[in-house]
């Protein structure tokens, strides 16, 4: 195990920063998680979303990968990089139940969804087992950190860190630009494909921006939209926030709502998480793996 850790360190160019003291206890996934839990604090109830989702907690950790969502492609990259503990913000097994217990019902509107013997679910499980991976969901406790890394991470990815308005975490004041130009910048910085969608006034000048990674509720939209020129959110429901933005456009207010996709909006915050882990777990390397924009659209 020691050799593979050293090899990993060499591969990632971090050789020498993570010495493994001779005779020290091997670092297990459980030990890493205990350290994270102690540092972040709070309660970690077994009924909450945060917790082990796959693999044995007693596994010796060679490296840690953080990601917004542990897709199979992300896990393949983690295995290749010898990062066998994966911390994911979103579920691994396709829903809030996350492979543990019954998935929520489909409310009578179609199939119940894949069963436990489903070929995709078993394929993913097998990959995790064959590569000795451990997957832990870290969402609520990371999001709750007072540093608001999910927001500051997104601001950093957009190049707006220095434009932060001190009194408010989500509020940024950028040099004035049209909504159209701002959306083009967002598309480029976040490497968006089909996931980027905008509603509102594309010619309006944008200065004040609210960053809201993840899901934005109608209540937040109603309270904040008229105080800013543009909102960047992860996802909203179309029949709620999207049409609030469409109605305000018809009413003559010059604002824009941009949604970039839930996962894409959460990726920068999990990149910050990897940097934070490097200060907390020095024995093994930590890295961030992006899942990318899942959406595309035909060109014609």
Partner 1 sequence: MTAREVVELIKKNGGVPFNERSYRDTFKVGNPDSTVKGIATTVMATFGMLKRAHAAGLNMVISHEDTFWNDRDDVRDLIENPLYKLKTEYIRKNDMIVWRDHDHMHAMKPDFTVVGSLRSVGVQGGENATMGPHVYTIPETSLGEFAAQVKRLTGSRAFRCVGDPKARVSRILLGPGYATPRITAEIDVVIGGEQQEADGGFDNIEYVMDATSLGMAKGVIMLGHVISEQPGMEDYANWMRTFLHDIPIQFVPAEEPYW
Residues that bind partner 1 (CB under 8 A): 49, 69, 71-73, 76, 90-91, 94-96, 103-106, 109-114, 118-120, 123-124, 183, 194-195, 197-199, 202, 215, 218-219, 221-222, 226, 234-235, 237-248, 250-251, 261-263, 291, 294-300
Of 51 and 114, CB closest to partner 1: 114
Q: Which two tokens stand for residue 52?
A: 């082990």
Residue 264 main-chain phi, psi, to 5 deg:
-60, -40
Do residues 158 and 171 lie in contact, with contact meaning Cβ atoms separated by under 8 Å? Answer: no
Task: Compute the distance between CA of residue 189 and CA of residue 294 in angstroms, rounded to an integer.
Answer: 16
Q: Which one, 17 or 72, has the nearer CB to partner 1?
A: 72
Give dist(CA 229, CA 257) in Å, integer.
Answer: 9
Token representation of residue 124: 């993913």
* Residue 274 beta carbon to partner 1: minimum distance, rounded to whole angstroms: 20
* Sign of the Cα pseudo-torsion (32, 146, 274, 278, in order): negative
- For residue 62, give both structure tokens: 């060679």
- The first and second tokens of residue 277, run together, are 């882990």
- On whether the CB atoms of residues 198 and 176 are closer than 8 A, the answer is no
Query: Count of CB atoms within 10 A of residue 40's CB?
Result: 17
Tokens 């007693």 belong to 58
Please state the closest distance from residue 104 (CB atom) to partner 1, in A: 4
Task: State the pairing for strand pair 256-259/286-288.
Answer: unpaired
Nearer to partner 1, 17 or 120 (CB): 120
- For residue 22, give the 3-state DSSP assignment: coil
What is the closest distance, in whole angstroms, from the C-beta atom of residue 192 to partner 1 in the complex? 11
Q: Based on CB atoms, which residue is closest to partner 1, 262 or 271?
A: 262
In the complex, the smallest distance separating the C-beta of residue 95 from partner 1, rounded to whole angstroms, is 5
Count of Cβ atoms closer than 10 Å to residue 143 Cβ: 17
Q: Which is nearer to partner 1, 10 or 120 (CB)?
A: 120
How far lies 203's CA from each of 67, 174, 179, 196, in Å?
35, 16, 6, 18
Min separation Cβ 290 and partner 1, Å: 13
| Nearer of residues 19 and 123 to partner 1, judged by Cβ | 123
Which strand (E) or helix (H) includes residue 53?
strand 51-54
User: Min. distance of Cβ 28 from partner 1 in angstroms?
Assistant: 27
CB of 88 to partner 1, least distance (A): 10
Residue partners of 33: CB distance under 8 A and separation at least 6: 52, 57, 136
- Cβ of residue 253: shortest distance to partner 1, in angstroms? 8
């Amino acid at each position: 195990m020691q050799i593979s850790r050293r090899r990993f360190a060499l591969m990632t160019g971090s050789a020498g920063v993570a010495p493994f003291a001779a005779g020290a206890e091997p670092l297990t996934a459980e030990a890493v998680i205990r350290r994270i839990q102690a540092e972040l604090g709070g309660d970690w109830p077994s009924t909450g979303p945060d917790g082990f989702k796959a693999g044995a907690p007693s596994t010796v950790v060679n490296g840690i990968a953080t990601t917004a969502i542990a897709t199979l492609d992300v896990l393949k990259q983690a295995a290749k990089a010898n990062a066998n503990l994966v911390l994911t913000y979103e579920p691994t097994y396709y829903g809030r139940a996350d492979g543990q217990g019954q998935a929520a019902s489909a409310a009578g509107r179609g199939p119940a969804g894949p069963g436990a013997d489903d070929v995709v679910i078993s394929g993913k499980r097998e990959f995790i087992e064959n590569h000795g991976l451990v997957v832990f969901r870290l969402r609520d406790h990371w999001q709750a950190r007072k540093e608001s890394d999910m927001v500051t991470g997104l601001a950093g990815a957009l190049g707006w860190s220095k434009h932060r308005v001190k009194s408010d975490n989500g509020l940024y004041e950028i040099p004035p630009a049209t909504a159209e130009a701002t959306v083009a910048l967002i598309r480029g910085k976040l490497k968006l494909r089909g996931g980027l969608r905008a509603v509102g006034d594309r010619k309006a000048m944008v200065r004040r921006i609210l960053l809201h990674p993840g899901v934005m509720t109608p209540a937040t939209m109603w309270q904040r939209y008229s105080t800013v020129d543009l909102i960047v959110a992860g996802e909203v429901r179309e029949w709620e926030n999207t049409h609030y933005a469409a109605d305000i456009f018809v009413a003559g207010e010059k604002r824009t709502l941009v949604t970039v996709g839930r996962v894409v909006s959460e990726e920068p915050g999990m990149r910050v998480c990897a940097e934070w882990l490097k200060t907390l777990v020095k024995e093994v390397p930590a890295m961030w793996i992006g899942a990318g924009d899942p959406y595309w659209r035909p060109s014609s």
